Amino acid sequence: MEKATRQHIKEHNRNLVLKTIFEHDSISRADISRHTRLTRTTVSDIVADLLTEGLVSEIGVGESLGGKSPILLSLVEDSRYLIGLDLAHNQFRGAIVNLRGKIRELVTLPVNSRNGKQALALVYEILDRLITASSVPLVGIGIGTPGLVNITEGVVVNAVNLDWKDLPLAQLMEQRYHLPVSILNDSQAAAMGEYTFGQKGTSESNLILINVRHGIGAGIIIQGRLFHGDGGGAGEIGHVVVVPEGGLLCRCGNRGCLETVASAQALVKQAQALATQPIQTLLPRSPQEINLDTIQLAFTGGDDNVRRAVLETGRYMGLAISNLVGTLNIKNIVLTGDMTRFGRPWLDAIREVISTTTLARLAQETQIEIGHLGENSIILGASAMLANNYSLLFNLTEMQPRR
């Protein structure tokens, strides 16, 4: 056998063992062998390496099934740290995250509408602080940014609010910090976060996450991997047309996009229009005071017009999700973003449309839930890209930041 192939098989087997250990709180060598179908000897050899690396430890003995009690192994969750960054909100947030998705250090900086190079300087400031704070070997840096991203090249193709165009973000970060860097857009990162750390107990390997905020985007995970699409633009569902005739003009130049009727921005515009009409309303009358907070107050206070407007956004979301479910038959749908504050009524409006516009069998199987990670989903997802790349956990000596 050629040396390269042997090395490849060795790495493949090691990743299999590591994945199995990641998926269990604790597990014996015999059970790893059963899960991976690798021989006991191969598993023992690999586990010996993992113990030496400090990635895994022996934590006690399990129940005996006749014979000797097995020694249980567990991931040492603080043996390596990852860095996750969320650039999608009006404050940039960065965190040191351990291998189980626990945040160990958090830095936030207000953006105050800074963009271009100034926004980039903020990113450096957060990373400088986090890297100085970490005493544990770092695996890499994962970044969730708004806008269109070329994941393979690590380039931010276009992020309007930050005024970044064709920015080689991964390259810039790698040159400065000497660590592997992964770039995703915010919805893709949130999908990775919910998939890796938020969905405890489900064994589904497919997931669609839809991030409904100022804009709308989706992250699609197929067989445990983020689906990029041919140009990295998979999941841009905010610009799917759902009002074919007479729709509102969208920021992309088309009319009737999902964003014009189902986003937070669309709802605020509608509420502003409502407040100027001679009707009874719990909304403030001045358009400047209308935002998601005041809309939510009117909604929970029982304002019928506001309630109708909110549920209407949900129905359009339902229509778009129905198309995705009909195309991909993915059962596990997770919603995140500002609009999830409208909770159960909004969710029910979405579910109702899906049940009437999707093939009955597909609709029955589909589970639509609000995400579990809250505001941390993007940070955790950006870091999960690295945690799932098991090979990175070993090549630490080659790329470590200069301090």
**Which spans of this chain sit near Zn ion (rule: CB under 5 A)?**
239, 250, 252, 254, 257
Look up tokens 């087997």; give the residue.
13
- Contact (CB, 8 A) for 261 and 244: no
Q: How far is the CB of 310 from Zn ion (least distance, A)?
A: 21
Distances (CA, A) of 34 to 3, 30, 267: 27, 6, 53
Query: Hey, what are 227's tokens?
Result: 């689906």
Q: How far is the CB of 37 from Zn ion (least distance, A)?
A: 48
Q: How far is the CB of 209 from Zn ion (least distance, A)?
A: 20
Q: For residues 263 and 332, which CB has a smaller minimum distance to Zn ion in the complex?
A: 263
Alpha-carbon gap, residue 350 to 28, rounded angstroms: 44
Q: How far is the CB of 239 from Zn ion (least distance, A)?
A: 4
Alpha-carbon gap, residue 32 to 286, rounded angstroms: 63
Q: For residues 14 and 239, which CB has a smaller minimum distance to Zn ion in the complex?
A: 239
Q: For residues 253 and 278, which CB has a smaller minimum distance to Zn ion in the complex?
A: 253
- Contact (CB, 8 A) for 226 and 191: yes
Give bridge partners of residue 335 from the DSSP assignment: 210, 370
Residue 352: burial class (beta carbons within 10 Å; 0-12, 13-18, 19+): middle
- Helices of type H across 216-365: 259-262, 264-275, 292-300, 304-328, 343-357, 360-365
Q: How far is the CB of 250 from Zn ion (least distance, A)?
A: 3
In 3D space, the residue among 317, 318, 343 whose CA is nearest the CA of residue 262 turns out to be 317
Q: For residues 86 and 236, which CB has a smaller minimum distance to Zn ion in the complex?
A: 236
Q: For residues 217 and 381, which CB has a smaller minimum distance to Zn ion in the complex?
A: 217
Query: Hey, what are 362's tokens?
Result: 């597909």
Cβ neighbors of 276 (< 8 A, separation 6 or more) are 285, 287
- Taking CA 335 as the corner, what is the angle to CA 330 and CA 339, rounded to the nearest 5 degrees? 150
Phi and psi torsions of 182, nearest 5°: -125, 130
Q: How far is the CB of 238 from Zn ion (least distance, A)?
A: 6
Q: For residues 106 and 243, which CB has a smaller minimum distance to Zn ion in the complex?
A: 243
Q: For residues 239 and 315, which CB has a smaller minimum distance to Zn ion in the complex?
A: 239
Count of positions (residues) in the chain: 403
Q: For residues 244 and 302, which CB has a smaller minimum distance to Zn ion in the complex?
A: 244
Q: How far is the CB of 253 from Zn ion (least distance, A)?
A: 7
Q: For residues 121 and 160, which CB has a smaller minimum distance to Zn ion in the complex?
A: 160
Alpha-carbon gap, residue 145 to 176, rounded angstroms: 19
Q: How far is the CB of 249 from Zn ion (least distance, A)?
A: 9
Q: How far is the CB of 159 from Zn ion (least distance, A)?
A: 16
